[in-house]
Amino acid sequence: MKILPPLLAILASCSARSTLMDASGSLRLKISDAKTSQGVVSIVFSPDTKSFLTDSNDILSLESTEPPCLICRGATLSGTSVHEGSALSTSSVVSDAILMDGITHGDVEAGWSNSRHARTVTALFRARLSLAPISKQLLILCVHGQIGESESLHLEGEAKSLFDATAAEVKSDAAFSDMYDISIVSVDSKSDADDVLSKAFQRAEETAGTDTSLASALEEAHNRVIRSGVAVAAKDPPHIAQAFVTVGNALTKQTRTVRAKLAVWKNRISRGLWVEGFGSEAESVRQRVLANFDSETLAAAGLPLVASYRMEMRAQLTSLIDSSIRNAFTLQVSNINKSIEKKLRGTLLKTVDASPEAVKAETAVALQSAMSNLEKIMAELEVPSLGLSKAKICREAESRLTDLGLAVVDSPAAQLRRTKKVMKVTNKEKKPGQRSVGFGLDLVAMLRPDGFGNLQGFAGYQYGGNSFTFGVHNDADDPQTVAQFGGVRPPLLRIQPKLRVDVEL
């Protein structure tokens, strides 16, 4: 393994520090001898905070050429210029390892949610997510002061949260573990600085890409940063990135609430039932879910970059709720119509044997009862805010039920009921009586004119013990009928008499 010299030796071996970006944002790339074959390390310092790694205050400078070491100014809460954002983004894209310096113990205790370091790391993350391919980069967080394991884990968790927030902002599905290896170390002396810098150089050399000119790599990265506009976005405070995650989490949470309630509704609807008080319950769920989303994302409404995303997610949530309610309403209406029609049909079938006047009266009463029941149920289902009212449903149902009332009398079910009643009467066992002999004549006639079987009808008459049945079927030209008669047309009229003798002993 190659033994790297300590930090002081590196600095001593270099010529005077080279400024790569001045206050105007222009690059100065007179570093033709610097190569990227050994990897590139960037030190990001925090302004006005003591650093054991560098004493530079430049926006972007070159500390050493062998191996290449960049120095970049970090963000501040008072404001970060476009040029400073551009320098951070460029360093993030070209580097194999980055050391973030100037983190104090107070910063760790207070959290990163709105600290200067959060602005810095958000800019670094945003640039790599937007412009760099998915590859590993070493991120070393240098803390001034001793830091315990629990604090280290907390700091690492906050860095990952900021990454997730930034990924959501740029709509990337990259994972933190795919793009970064993170290390948190204490740097309280020059010795500590030498150790951490040696670690960064070693990692950079292991992951270095092609052997190209550092000047070319910087120029290409800087041009991509400018074209993409990511440096302008890098000025935004980190709570904007956090707001994207807050909105996304609120959407996920409220979506789960909607789906849970929908599952309860579907459980009843799938069994042919309906939800009692569905209208008021659906309205309550809709208002509560949207109110909770608005409450949880209220802070994001005042952030211009997040406000449009918030409205988009709210529209998505609203569409999910409304479509779910409408679908549940439609399915329940279908179940109710089937239930009402089934009940009405059963009621009317009981009256088919009555006189025409009685059937008409019973039908009117049954229709009125069915409509009253339907309106009562629909009053509990309608959701006026979504235009789901009972008026149209009841109008359509009234027309449909009226047609059903008229059709039941002549329906196959009614005919079958009558037939069963006649059979029950005729098959009723007679009481023992005197011996007798009865005669009856059954006459069946069938008329089969020209045609292909599209007309068929029968008529019957019974008087005492005699009966007459007459049928018409225009199938004389039907090939199947002709085949049944051996290839000849059936007779036009066929009469079949039958003498019936009933003997009772």
Q: How many CA atoms lie within 13 A of 61 on its CB side?
A: 19
Going by pLDDT thresholds of 50, 70 and 90, the confidence category of residue 11 is very low
pLDDT at res. 290: 95
Q: In 3-state terms, what secondary structure has residue 374?
A: helix
Q: What is the mean pLDDT of the chain?
A: 82
Q: Tell me: pLDDT of 358 over 70.
A: no
73 vs 361: CA distance, rounded Å: 93
At 450, list the tokens.
Answer: 């020209």
130 vs 93: CA distance, rounded Å: 10
pLDDT at res. 67: 82
197 vs 214: CA distance, rounded Å: 19
Contact 97, 51 (CB under 8 A): no
469 vs 453: CA distance, rounded Å: 19
Contact 137, 98 (CB under 8 A): yes
Share of the chain above pLDDT 70, in %: 85
Q: In 3-state terms, what secondary structure has residue 104?
A: strand
Residues forming beta bridges with residue 390, ordered by sequence position: none
Contact 335, 274 (CB under 8 A): yes
pLDDT at res. 427: 62
pLDDT at res. 60: 92
Helix (H) or strand (E) holding 445: strand 436-447
Neighbours of 263 (CB within 10 A): 9
At 11, list the tokens.
Answer: 């600095």
pLDDT in tens, 290-328: 999 999 999 888 776 688 889 999 999 999 999 999 999
| Side chain identity, residue 338 | K
pLDDT in tens, 18-28: 888 887 878 88
Helix (H) or strand (E) holding 69: strand 68-73
Three-state DSSP string of 386-409:
HCECHHHHHHHHHHHHHHHHHHHC
* Closest to 122 (Cα-Cα) out of 154, 96, 161: 161
Report the alpha-carbon angle 269-274-277, nearest 5: 135
Average pLDDT over residues 275-294: 93
pLDDT in tens, 38-69: 889 999 999 888 888 988 888 999 888 878 89
Average pLDDT over residues 178-202: 93
| Side chain identity, residue 228 | S
Neighbours of 409 (CB within 10 A): 16
Share of the chain above pLDDT 90, in %: 28
Q: What is the distance of C-alpha 96 from the center of its chain?
A: 38
Cβ neighbourhood burial of 94 (10 Å; 0-12, 13-18, 19+): buried
Q: Tell me: pLDDT of 8 over 80.
A: no
Give the strands of the sheet with 493-504, arranged side by side: 456-463, 466-473, 436-447, 493-504
At 134, list the tokens.
Answer: 């998915």
